[in-house]
């Protein structure tokens, strides 16, 4: 520092004396006092004065140091820390381009860049001096947020210093650092002499009416605002001090804001980059600025939903990695946790890019955002809560306890592309977002809104189609085999999702619900997703989310108890909704199983949740694989079979049908050997004119081909009872389900390896004018099967024929018809069934095309007992003749043959045998001698 020569020579002796005294009385370097307060001299202040929150007073800060003499330790650098919320609107002021620290000439041409003034007092050898100065806004050096240039005017010379502006990581307050304060001065004739700075006063302008620009602004919250000072001496001693004031009149502090939202692209149902812009009001400036924002809640437009595909390759940033408490370091979050970008615009510091990371879930917050915006020397770190509505999915984002730092724009852009964070609404039109912004002043909230418009692709109409499809596959197409079966429902992206579906499998393609070792999960267990492994029958893969890269959620399919009484069982489809780092719980969808009367299986799902904890599932594909060994069974028939399905859309529109087909092969190798048996029971009901109980049983082994047609022929000794036929049900009454009990002529029962419960039901005889009667069999149980038996008569002397056509491809191990006896028994005896024993014949045609015929003797019980033989044999040998004498009781049947075993000592010839019965010699028709046994055939007219 240079000092002009006035009075220099005259004061030389005094200077030397002062230096000597100062050297002897030096004390430790320290700040003795700090004052920092608004100055009410600014004419743009509100009526409530210079301390009004958000007002633009001049801020006057004075730092007093210990009053030592020249040559003692003096201040070298000063840091001025403004409290959070104390704002210096640097960017409101143009930068001074002519500020040059290499010269001692006064700065010129920068009147518009003046942001304040300074006054420094110092003790020198010639006495205390006052050094006024001007503070300019200048371009900051690299690494600084802003900078001020201090032009301190001496007596005919200038000292120029630079104060850099940074951000304090501890509270994000502004810090001005001034380094290189002088501790010497150059005096003509004396040269360089020491000085000691006693005080520094800096005034930051509040408002420049000439430039119509605000600079310093009070905090907008009415809490104590502290200005902290830290000073370091040339000897390395650091000292500090502070002062504070409390803003007032917060109740009258203005507060308003704007909200903007956009989507790129803005087409409907698109994986778009969605940007949300929160803009506090910056137009309100005189006499007070709008309050700073303390908290923000943004509600996205209805229909802007979270895209579950985001989680496919997403990791989560932990709280430890984010390290919110330490704003001096960047967040240590994995790049794979990034979900968007931030643009933070400060009227003080400028524009700063930042990153939005996905944060780990907590017990209260499933979805969190970690926001990191690097500033000069600090980081804005904000933890935000994302809360989708569990019913609608509408997204609300909450930013609590924002730092007290002014910003003119805070733009958060969620990532777009195939794994976008959000999806645009599925309709075209205006989509409005709303926000609630709470001010630091404590006044009323601001509730701005913003909107964007969705359109069709390239201007096309906005319309989503509903076009689901279904596909099926089996691991083997061999008839009757047990395959792995996969059913896949598909929905193209950007089309209406399906809410539920019903799939009808072809006859014979069915699951063995009664498979040994397979249990049924209870409905309570299914709802709680705790089904035992013994009920597992397959797996499920759900492809969820929007875009071209949706993730797949794996799950398990269990056999469960019936959802509706009378059903054989149901399915419980259990899918853990683990979307990357997001555990959204477990999805459980039930499906009703019904066996159709044609032998087919219908699978009807419950409504599939559209949302899981507010996150849309948006299922693009649902693949169910039933792979439990022995569970699924192919049809017995060969050739193409159709699988049909019906889908209900999520938007409530009309249902859509879809179908696919499977073709089965190798029918000829499938075994087919059904057996028939029959029995007649009824004491006294075996002779002509009676009506016995007739039971027929058809049986098969598990794994054989099923019966398509059964043709059963009764013996000619059996026919129909006219009285029973006349008591039958008419076709009209049968169709109306009002048949009389007298028309029930039999009961039917069946066992199937597919279900654990037997089937049973009545058999009606149904008449139609001009036609032979028919038998209507109603099997009921886990499946309802209706069979029709057509009655005809065999040609010639044949018996009654009953033919069952179109029997469903349903595996049965046993099928029984038990006809009732009695007056209205439908079976009538034409000739005695006791002798000769009648036979039943059957011809079966399988669904696999094979045919087998057989005939079996009917087991008859209830015939009269056969009397014991009372005939006696007497042998007499004389004159070489052996006579066999036979005596029989009356009513005994005539003899047809007599066999006699003779001693080996007798040698007989054919003509040497005579048979007499009741004294009458019987003429032999044929005589056979074999060894010692002689058999005499008496012919049909024996005794």
Q: Give pLDDT tens digits for 9-21.
A: 333 333 333 343 3
pLDDT at 274 over 70: yes
Average of per-residue pLDDT values in the chain: 89
Out of 479-493, 553-567, 796-810, least confident range: 796-810
Residue 4 has pLDDT above 70, yes or no: no
Q: What stretch of H or E contains 370?
A: strand 367-375
In this structure, the strands spanning 675-681 and 859-860 are parallel
639-649 and 498-504 strand pairing: antiparallel
> CA 267 to CA 425: how far, in whole Å?
9
Report pLDDT digits (tens) over 553-610.
Answer: 999 999 999 999 989 999 999 999 999 999 999 999 999 999 998 889 999 999 999 9
Q: Is the pLDDT of residue 880 over 60?
A: no
Listed range (166-180, 350-364, 913-927) with the worst mean pLDDT: 913-927
Band of pLDDT at residue 461, cut at 50, 70 and 90: confident
Q: Which of 716, 730, 926, 750 is nearest to 839 (CA)?
A: 716
Q: Coil, strand, or helix at residue 527?
A: helix
Mean pLDDT of 757-771: 94
In this prediction, residues 433-460 reach a mean pLDDT of 95
**159-173, 426-440, 575-589, 916-930: lowest mean pLDDT where?**
916-930
DSSP 715-782: -TTEEE-HHHHHTSEEHHHHHTT---GGGEEEEEEEE-TT-SSPEEEEEEEEE-TTS--EEEEEEBSS
User: How many whole angstroms separate alpha carbon 581 and alpha carbon 313?
Assistant: 9
Contacts of 20 (CB under 8 A, 6+ apart): none
pLDDT of 58 reads 96
Range with the lowest mean pLDDT among 441-455, 659-673, 914-928? 914-928
Flag whether pLDDT at 796 surpasses 80: no
E strand or H helix that includes residue 13: helix 12-25
What integer is the mean pLDDT of 34-42? 94
Rounded Cα distance, 88 and 174, in Å: 8
* Alpha-carbon span 76 to 853, nearest angstrom: 118
Q: What are the C-alpha distances in Å from 31 to residues 34, 80, 233, 589?
A: 8, 13, 11, 74
- Whether residue 863 has pLDDT greater than 90: no
Per-residue confidence (pLDDT) for residue 846, from 0 to 100? 96
Asked if residue 171 lies in contact with residue 191, where contact means CB atoms within 8 angstroms, the answer is no
Q: Tens of pLDDT along 491-532? A: 999 999 999 999 999 999 999 999 999 999 999 999 999 999
Q: Which residues have a Cβ under 8 Å from the Cβ of 117 and sit 6 or more positions away?
A: 132, 133, 134, 135, 202, 203
**Whether the Cβ atoms of residue 657 and residue 644 lie closer than 8 Å to each other:** yes
- Higher-confidence residue of 493 and 67: namely 493
Instruction: Choose among 414, 416, 366, 422: nearest CA to 395.
Output: 422
| Highest-confidence segment of 4-18, 112-126, 841-855 | 841-855
What is the model's pLDDT at position 67? 83
Listed in sequence order, the residues at least 6 apart from 530 whose beta carbon sits closer than 8 Å to its beta carbon are none
CA terminus-to-terminus distance, the chain: 165
Task: Give residue-wise pLDDT tens across range 152-207.
Answer: 986 557 889 999 999 999 899 999 999 999 888 776 677 778 889 999 999 999 98
pLDDT at 25 over 50: no
Weakest-pLDDT range from 212-216, 361-365, 706-710, 876-880: 876-880
Q: How far apart are CA 416 and CA 428, in angstroms?
A: 19
pLDDT-derived band at 875 (thresholds 50, 70, 90) equals very low
- 394 versus 872: the higher-pLDDT residue is 394
Token readout for 588 is 């459980």
Percent of the chain with pLDDT over 90: 72
d(CA 683, CA 427): 80
Average pLDDT over residues 459-472: 92
- E-strand stretches of 195-300: 196-204, 207-208, 213-214, 216-217, 225-233, 238-245, 257-264, 273-280, 293-299
CA–CA separation, 352 vs 350, rounded Å? 7
Measured CA to CA in angstroms, residue 187 lies from 122, 133, 195, 935 at distances of 14, 20, 11, 168
Residue 766, token pair as written in the block: 């149904």
Residue 19 CB neighbours (<10 A): 16
Q: What pLDDT is stored for residue 237 in this prediction? A: 95
User: Mean pLDDT across the stretch 106-133?
Assistant: 91
pLDDT surpassing 90 at residue 30: yes
Give the whole-angstrom CA distance, residue 450 versus residue 448: 7
Task: Identify the weakest region by mean pLDDT among 145-154, 655-664, 739-748.
Answer: 145-154
pLDDT tier at 315, thresholds 50, 70, 90? very high
2 or 161: which leads in pLDDT: 161
Angular region, 745: left φ>0, alpha ψ -120 to 50, beta rest:
alpha
Check pLDDT > 70 for residue 908. Answer: no
Residues 6 or more apart whose Cβ sits within 8 Å of residue 879: none
What is the rounded distance in angstroms from the CA atom of residue 167 to the CA atom of residue 165?
7
862 confidence band (pLDDT: 50, 70, 90): confident
**368: buried, middle or exposed (CB in 10 Å: 19+, 13-18, 0-12)?**
buried
pLDDT of amino acid 898? 63
Q: What percent of the chain has pLDDT over 70?
A: 88
840 vs 213, which has greater pLDDT? Answer: 840
């Amino acid at each position: 520092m240079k000092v002009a020569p006035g009075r220099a020579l005259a004061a030389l002796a005094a200077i030397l004396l002062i230096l000597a005294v100062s050297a002897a009385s030096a004390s430790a370097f320290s700040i003795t006092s700090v004052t920092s307060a608004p100055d009410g001299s600014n004419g743009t202040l509100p009526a409530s004065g210079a301390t009004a929150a958000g007002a633009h007073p001049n801020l006057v800060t004075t730092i007093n140091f210990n009053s030592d003499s020249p040559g003692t330790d003096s201040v070298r650098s000063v840091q001025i820390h403004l409290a959070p919320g104390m704002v210096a609107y640097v960017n409101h002021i143009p930068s001074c381009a002519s500020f040059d620290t290499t010269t001692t000439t006064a700065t010129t041409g920068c009147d518009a860049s003046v942001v304040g003034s300074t006054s420094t007092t110092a003790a020198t050898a010639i006495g205390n001096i006052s050094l006024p100065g001007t503070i300019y806004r200048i371009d900051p050096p690299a690494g600084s947020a802003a900078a001020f240039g201090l032009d301190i005017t001496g007596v005919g010379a200038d000292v120029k210093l630079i104060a850099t502006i940074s951000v304090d990581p501890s509270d994000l307050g502004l810090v001005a650092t001034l380094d290189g304060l002088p501790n010497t001065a150059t005096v003509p004739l004396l040269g360089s002499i020491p000085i000691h700075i006693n005080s520094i006063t800096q005034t930051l302008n509040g408002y420049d009416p000439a430039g119509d620009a605000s600079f310093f602004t009070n905090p907008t919250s009415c809490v104590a605002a502290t200005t902290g000072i830290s000073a370091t001496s040339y000897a390395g001693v650091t000292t500090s001090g502070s002062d504070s004031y409390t803003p007032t009149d917060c109740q009258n502090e203005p507060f308003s804001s704007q909200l903007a939202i956009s989507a790129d692209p803005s087409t409907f149902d698109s994986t778009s980059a969605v940007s949300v812009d929160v803009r506090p009001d910056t137009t309100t400036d005189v006499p007070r600025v709008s309050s700073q924002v303390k908290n923000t809640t943004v509600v996205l437009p209805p229909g802007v939903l979270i895209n579950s595909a985001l989680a496919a390759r997403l990791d989560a940033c932990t709280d430890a990695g984010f390290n919110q408490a330490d704003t001096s370091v960047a967040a240590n979050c994995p790049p794979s946790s990034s979900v968007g970008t931030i643009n933070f615009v400060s009227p003080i510091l400028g524009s700063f890019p930042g990153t939005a990371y996905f944060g780990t879930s907590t017990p209260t917050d499933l979805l969190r955002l970690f926001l990191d915006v690097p500033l000069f020397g600090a980081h804005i770190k904000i933890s935000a809560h994302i809360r989708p509505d569990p019913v609608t999915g509408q997204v609300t984002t909450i930013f609590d306890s924002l730092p007290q730092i002014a910003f003119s724009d805070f733009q958060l852009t969620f990532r777009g592309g195939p794994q976008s964070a959000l999806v645009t609404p599925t309709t075209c039109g205006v989509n409005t977002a709303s926000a609630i912004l709470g001010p630091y002043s404590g006044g009323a909230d601001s509730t701005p809104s913003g909107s964007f418009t969705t359109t069709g692709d390239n201007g096309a109409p906005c319309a989503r189609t509903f076009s689901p499809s279904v596909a099926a596959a089996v691991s083997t197409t061999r008839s009757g085999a047990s395959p792995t079966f996969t059913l896949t429902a598909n929905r193209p992206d950007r089309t209406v999702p399906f809410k539920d579906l019903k799939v009808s499998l072809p006859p014979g393609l069915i699951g063995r619900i009664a498979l040994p070792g397979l249990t049924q999960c209870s409905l309570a267990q299914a709802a709680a997703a705790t089904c035992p492994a013994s009920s597992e029958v397959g797996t499920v893969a759900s492809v969820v989310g929007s875009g071209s890269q949706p993730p797949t959620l794996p799950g398990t399919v269990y056999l469960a108890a019936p959802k509706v009484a009378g059903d054989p069982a149901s399915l419980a489809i259990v899918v853990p909704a683990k979307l990357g780092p997001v555990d959204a719980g477990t999805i459980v969808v039930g499906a009703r199983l019904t066996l159709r009367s044609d032998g087919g299986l219908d699978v009807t799902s419950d409504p599939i949740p559209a949302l899981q904890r507010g996150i849309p599932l948006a299922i693009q594909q649902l693949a169910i694989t039933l792979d439990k060994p022995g569970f699924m069974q192919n049809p017995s028939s060969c050739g193409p079979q159709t699988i049909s399905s019906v889908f209900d859309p999520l938007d409530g529109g009309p249902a859509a049908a879809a179908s696919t087909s499977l073709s089965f092969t190798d029918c000829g190798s499938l075994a087919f050997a059904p057996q028939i048996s029959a029995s007649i029971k009824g004491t006294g009901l075996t002779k002509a004119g009676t009506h016995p109980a007739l039971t027929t049983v058809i049986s098969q082994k598990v794994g054989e081909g099923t019966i398509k047609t059964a043709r059963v022929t009764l013996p000619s000794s059996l026919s129909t009872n006219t009285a029973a036929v006349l008591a039958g049900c008419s076709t009209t009454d049968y169709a109306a389900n009002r048949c009389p009990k007298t028309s029930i002529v039999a009961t039917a029962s069946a066992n199937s390896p597919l279900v654990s419960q037997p089937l049973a039901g009545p058999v009606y005889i149904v008449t139609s004018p001009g036609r032979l009667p028919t038998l209507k069999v109603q099997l009921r149980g886990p499946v309802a099967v209706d069979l029709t038996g057509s009655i005809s008569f065999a040609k010639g002397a044949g018996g009654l024929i009953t033919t069952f056509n179109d029997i469903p491809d349903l595996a049965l191990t046993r099928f029984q018809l038990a006809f009732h006896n009695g007056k209205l028994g439908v079976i009538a005896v034409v000739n005695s069934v006791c002798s000769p024993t009648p036979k039943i014949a059957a011809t079966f045609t399988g669904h696999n095309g094979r045919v087998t015929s057989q005939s079996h003797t009917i087991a008859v019980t209830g015939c009269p007992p056969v009397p014991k033989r009372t005939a006696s044999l007497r042998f007499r040998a004389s004159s070489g003749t052996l006579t066999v004498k036979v005596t029989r009781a009356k009513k005994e049947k005539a003899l047809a043959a007599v066999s006699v075993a003779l001693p080996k000592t007798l040698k007989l010839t054919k003509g040497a045998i005579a048979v007499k019965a009741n004294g009458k010699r019987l003429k032999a028709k044929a005589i056979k001698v074999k060894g010692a046994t002689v058999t005499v055939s008496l012919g049909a007219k024996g005794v």
